Amino acid sequence: IENGVNMQHFLTIPRLEELYNTRLGPPNTLHLLVRDVKKSNLPPDYHISLIDIGLVLEYLMGGAYRCNYTRKNFR
């Protein structure tokens, strides 16, 4: 941002999904949350999408929030 980076151009949908699916760094609970929201086991190579992220956000907010990622016009 300070060096002229435009976040809308940098954080594209594919780049955001790549960041959510990275195997680097400490393990986190995102995969477990997606599994809980989908109510099924995920294959080891499952690719988390922004729609999955939206479902997790709505799940964590207890239905009090509607994420843009889950809206029909986003899909």
Q: State pLDDT tens for residues 22-60.
A: 877 666 688 889 999 999 888 988 999 999 999 999 999
**What phi, psi does 74 have (nearest 5°)?**
-80, -40
Take residue 47 and report the two structure tokens written for it: 């690719």
Buried-exposed string 16-44: b where 16+ CB fall within 10 A, e elsewhere: ebeebeeeeeeeeeebebbeebeeeeeee
**What pLDDT does residue 74 have?**
80
Q: 4 pLDDT exceeds 90?
A: no
What is the reported pTM? 0.77
**What pLDDT does residue 35 have?**
92
